[in-house]
Amino acid sequence: MVRPLCPGAATPADATVSKCGRHDDLVGLPASKSAYVGVTKAANMRTIRDHPVRFGELAGPLVHGANFFDWQLVSTQELATAVEYPFEELVADSAIPYAPVVVDSTVHRYPAFGDTVSVEVTPTRVGDSSLELVYETIDADGEPFATARMTHVTIAPEGGALPLPDAVRERLDGERKSRDVAPGPAGGNVAADSDAHPTFENAFGIHGPHIEGSELAYFEEYPRFADVALESFLADAGMKPGSIADDRQPFRLRAWHWEFDSTVEFDATLLITTDVRSVSPEAIRVKHTFRTDGEARIEGVTEYGCFDREGAPTTYPPEMLAPFET
């Protein structure tokens, strides 16, 4: 059964206000001293500490962009345990724990072999049912790899958001801090329409390796599917990323704003529409729509950048952009 995050709501993909007023209940509660002492200042809660980049996390010389999603959700699970509202209890009650509903993220630099990765997570807004977290992925010197801001809700068995228990809300609010970060696409969340660039569609079956503990498509899989769709388009255009990548590592996630409307089920067929909206030496900007059964489940704006072999951002040469200039 597809479970809507907010039944009956609809919002255009490029809107900056999320479906069902997802930010409406993210009002800052009055600051209070947390009675919960198990978290030492969640504002600097290091949920992943000095994780060495593993061989299996690499896609060539750099980690795959989907790893940022995975590290963020691992961090969410650690925070959930710390505030005594753990994933395993929610799954046992047939709820979907801490589902992302709005995601804004920016990659500043990609980790490579030899790097260590730490993640600090900060609660920034606490609502009746929703929680906004900022994730700062950093290297051994505290320099940023990536920054993300994510709104979560726990989905009830019948759909819709479960209210946070009062005690959990108080613990989170006691650790709430403001973070002056603005992740996401540099030009905002609106992708202007354009007929100057291609649109393409790809279908993917959701199978056992793609699901998580709630038997739904795992968050990390969506950027992987989107990457395969992009590489399939390039191959059809006569360009294979593996054969052109050298000093430059092209077509890697740089920034994204995604909104999640409802779940993607095990055994579903996921149709991804990639609508290229703008092309520049700095980024390829696309509008993404993920559908099952003819209904949009995820919509958003994604930027793909070019990076060097050490993970630093660089620019695309003209020949790499040629397939998008139709």
- Which candidate, 92, 137, 91, places its Cα nearest to that of 116? 137
Share of the chain above pLDDT 70, in %: 84
Mean per-residue pLDDT for 256-271? Answer: 96
Helix (H, G, I), strand (E, B) or coil at 54: coil
CB 285 within 8 A of CB 302: yes
- The per-residue pLDDT for 241 is 78
Of 2, 297, 1, 3, nearest in space to 160 by CA: 3
pLDDT tens-digit profile of 125-137?
A: 999 999 999 999 9
Give pLDDT, residue 184. 97
Q: Is the pLDDT of residue 89 over 80?
A: yes
Q: What average pLDDT does the structure give for the chain?
A: 87
Strand partners, 249: 307
For residue 108, pLDDT beyond 90: yes
pLDDT at 44: 60
User: Looking at residue 173, what is its pLDDT?
Assistant: 95
Answer yes or no: are the C-beta atoms of 303 and 324 closer than 8 Å: no
**Reported confidence tier of residue 15, pLDDT bands at 50, 70, 90:** very low
The pLDDT of residue 1 is 66
pLDDT for the residue 275 = 97
- Is the model's pLDDT at 28 over the cut of 50? no
Q: Which of 5-19, 28-42, 123-137, 248-262 has the lowest mean pLDDT?
A: 28-42
Domains of the chain: 19-324 (3.10.129.10)
> Does residue 135 contact residue 72 with C-beta atoms inside 8 Å?
yes
Per-residue pLDDT at 213 exceeds 70: yes
Token pair for residue 118?
A: 């730490």
Least confident span in 18-27, 67-76, 133-142, 231-240: 18-27
- In which element (H, E) is residue 274 found? strand 269-279
Quick one: pLDDT at residue 210? Answer: 96
Half-sphere exposure of 288 (CA within 13 A, CB side): 28
pLDDT higher than 50, residue 197: yes
Summarised one tens digit per residue, pLDDT across range 30-88 is: 333 222 223 333 346 899 999 999 999 999 999 999 999 999 999 999 999 999 999 99
pLDDT tens readout for residues 113-158? 999 999 999 999 999 999 999 999 999 999 999 999 999 999 999 8
Task: For residue 11, give Cα distances in angstroms to 3, 14, 216.
Answer: 17, 8, 23
CA distance 23 to 42: 21
Q: What is the pLDDT of residue 190?
A: 57
Least confident of 163-167, 192-196, 278-282, 293-297: 192-196
User: What's residue 63's pLDDT?
Assistant: 98
8 A C-beta contact, residue 270 and residue 225: yes
Pick left, alpha or beta for residue 60 (phi over 0 → left; psi -120 to 50 → alpha; otherwise beta).
left
